[in-house]
Amino acid sequence: MADHGSKTLADELITSMREQLPKVLGSDGKGLWSVSVLGSYVRGDFFDGNSDLDFHLVSQPNHSDTEGPCFSDGVLAVKGLVERILDGRVLYSHNPYQFDWVTSSWESLPKSQADIHIPDGSPTITSLNIFLFDYMENLLVLWGNDPRKIMPAPLNFEILARGWFDSALVARQRYRDEGNEWRIPFRIFKSIQVAQIVFGQYTLDKQRLLEFYEKHVPDFPLKQFGCRVIRSKMQSKYPEYPAQFDSYDVYGHFEDQLSEVVERKLATSLGMS
């Protein structure tokens, strides 16, 4: 397998963005309030050839329409800068698009715990609710403001986890209705992360996910399928070894079983029947 050197390229990209964004966005920010990188790059579990880069772009206050021209100008300016820095080079990862671009309005950022969205199967930005603890710990601001300064402490994780699994069927059906069944395996990977946290360690460190999942999550009939999901995600390297997917029904059966295991744990810890 080729050594793509994606971590070296990611380092170069992030350094150059920090240096050039002030000039690119100018004094008015082109509608942007903050540009950050989060996830594995900051957390320290960035796998060469497998990990992508996750960016979070936040619009300025009173630019709540994230499709509006000012915000779009800023987003296009940032993406254009990334293209110029790469200059035709590819950040190889499991993601054929190289990057995950998350855009939010300033108004949509949670300012109190009451604003934190408990998962209910509707579209959501997981880094701002169920994985907010990781966002607060592992965010690198490249330009502008630090969103964490106006955001609350995360909610009790078990409350968020209960919402995540209670709405599992709703989320999977929504993907089917939208024609986005290909998203289901990625949701399942997150479900494994959530279950591991409920039973094991309060971390999203992918380097130890398989270890913690096998060690802490109780046995159930399809548990080994979860190990396959983890290995497939962690070993996929686009374009040489794209992620391998099973039938969507299998993912559904697995998540249903995992949900039952987690729900029993949460019913005890949260004092619910």
Contact between residue 193 and residue 262 where contact means Cβ atoms under 8 Å apart = no
241: pLDDT confidence band, cut at 50, 70 and 90?
low
CA distances from 93 to 48, 76, 109, 157 (A): 7, 22, 29, 29
Pick the CATH number of 6-150 from 3.30.460, 1.10.10, 1.20.140, 3.40.1440: 3.30.460
User: How far apart (Å, rounded) are the C-alpha atoms in residues 218 and 113?
Assistant: 31
Q: Please state, in angstroms and rounded to a whole number, the distance separating the CA atoms of residues 135 and 28.
A: 26
Tokens 């403001």: give the residue.
Answer: 145
% of the chain surpassing 70 pLDDT: 92
pLDDT tier at 243, thresholds 50, 70, 90: low
Say which range, 41-50, 74-83, 187-196, has the weakest mean pLDDT. 41-50
For tokens 């029947």, the residue is: 273
Structure tokens that stand for 231 in this block: 């290995």
pLDDT mean over 144-148: 98
Give dist(CA 42, CA 44) in Å, integer.
Answer: 5
CB atoms within 10 A of CB 96: 11
Residues 6+ apart with CB under 8 A from 28: none
Q: What is the pTM of this model?
A: 0.91
In the chain, where the domains are located: 6-150, 157-269
How far lies 33's CA from each of 37, 62, 122, 150, 167, in Å?
14, 11, 26, 13, 32
Per-residue model confidence as pLDDT tens digits over 49-84: 888 899 999 999 987 554 544 568 999 999 999 999
